[in-house]
Amino acid sequence: MRTLITGGAGFVGSHLCDRFLGEGHEVLCVDNFITGNLGNCEHMRGNPSFQFIRHDISHPIEIDGPLDNILHFASPASPVDYLRHPIPTLKVGSLGTHNTLGLAKAKKARYLLASTSEVYGDPEQHPQREDYWGHVNPIGIRGVYDEAKRFAEAMTMSYHRYHSVDTHIVRIFNTYGERMRLDDGRVVPNLMGQALRGEPLTVYGDGSQTRSFCYVADLVDGIYRLLFTEFHEPVNLGNPNEVSILEFAKEILELSGSKSRIEFKPLPQDDPKVRRPDITRARRLLGWEPKIERREGMKRTMEYFKNKVNG
């Protein structure tokens, strides 16, 4: 099998490259490094089944030879990144999705789109099920990411309905693990980095807002399973074990042994108050649910960040 992964030098993308190589695929990793890191793929570069292509997938790409699978994971994914790169975020969600779907159509390849729980916005339904249409501010500062992904889902379903492309959509909830960037602005690297450096831990609002954290190996397993189904509508993948941000910050302090204090700052615009996936569909369709307990996943991630902070 020959598999192309856009955003393959990113956090989740590089773990997908590892998984597909481990399953015996030839992997073509496409990235332009707007937020990806070549170091995430360094250990793969001696593998004859791995090929790296530096390219911005918002522009068309030509690939020689057959392709069996295309996974579109290219996009800034943290608020810090997509607020810094709003137009590239919109372009990779629209033009990049169009380009990769056109390639899948031409190659008769399976296609999987990385969507996000952000399509639900600041949800009025809790937990979030796939049939919920969301509560999104299209012109708010987060709209560049939310609407790019909502458009990408619409484009993907259109290519399935009108061109019979074998498409799949995963809605990814908060994911963490090794290869996250310390400066990517998401809650796990933010809080862990601050704890390890002895800085105050930043909690926005009163910390009562909730998130559900899924370890990256669990997520990748669900994605791999989803690609080879005959199901075409969105599927939530995430951990339904919900925790408040304040409680999570306290867990990180305990795990790190840090003496840092918690510092409260104003809640950012349109920040979701709750976030928890309903994974009934994933359980039924894929026989999937997270296996790695949060404490175990956090230990592994903390060790990774320790090396980054001390290095």
**CB of 209 within 8 A of CB of 126?**
no
13 pLDDT band, cuts 50/70/90, is very high
Does residue 296 have a pLDDT over 80? yes
Question: What pLDDT, on the 0 to 100 scale, is given for residue 267?
Answer: 84
Does residue 157 have a pLDDT over 90? yes
Distance from the Cα of residue 22 to its chain's centroid = 20
Which of 188, 173, 174 lies closest to 298 in space, CA to CA?
Answer: 188
Q: If you average pLDDT over every residue of the chain, what do you get?
A: 95
Separation between Cα atoms, residue 153 and residue 258, nearest integer Å: 42
Q: Which position among 111, 145, 176, 224 bears the catalytic label? A: 145
pLDDT (average), residues 126-139: 95
**Whole-model pTM over 0.75:** yes
- Number of Cβ within a 10 Å radius of residue 61: 18
> Would residue 120 show up in a list of annotated catalytic residues for this protein?
no
Does residue 271 have a pLDDT over 90? no
The pLDDT tens digits for 28-55 are 999 999 999 999 999 999 999 999 999 9
pLDDT (average), residues 229-234: 98
- Number of Cβ within a 10 Å radius of residue 219: 26
Does residue 107 have a pLDDT over 70? yes
Does residue 183 have a pLDDT over 90? no
**CB of 211 within 8 A of CB of 238?**
no
73 pLDDT band, cuts 50/70/90, is very high
What share of the chain has pLDDT > 70, as a percent?
99
pLDDT (average), residues 290-300: 96
Question: What pLDDT, on the 0 to 100 scale, is given for residue 102?
Answer: 98
Question: What pLDDT, on the 0 to 100 scale, is given for residue 273?
Answer: 84
58 pLDDT band, cuts 50/70/90, is very high
252 pLDDT band, cuts 50/70/90, is very high
* DSSP label at residue 205: T
Angstrom CA distances, 33 to 75, 226, 250, stand at 10, 27, 33
The pLDDT tens digits for 194-209 are 999 999 999 999 999 9
Does residue 311 have a pLDDT over 90? no
Does residue 68 have a pLDDT over 80? yes
Going by DSSP bridges, is the β-strand pair 242-244/210-212 parallel, antiparallel, or unpaired?
Answer: antiparallel
**CB of 290 within 8 A of CB of 172?**
no
Question: What pLDDT, on the 0 to 100 scale, is given for residue 185?
Answer: 86
Q: Which two tokens stand for residue 250?
A: 């306290």
Ordered domains of the chain (ranges, CATH): 2-175+213-237 (3.40.50.720), 177-211+241-275+292-305 (3.90.25.10)
Lowest mean pLDDT: which of 157-171, 241-255, 261-275? 261-275
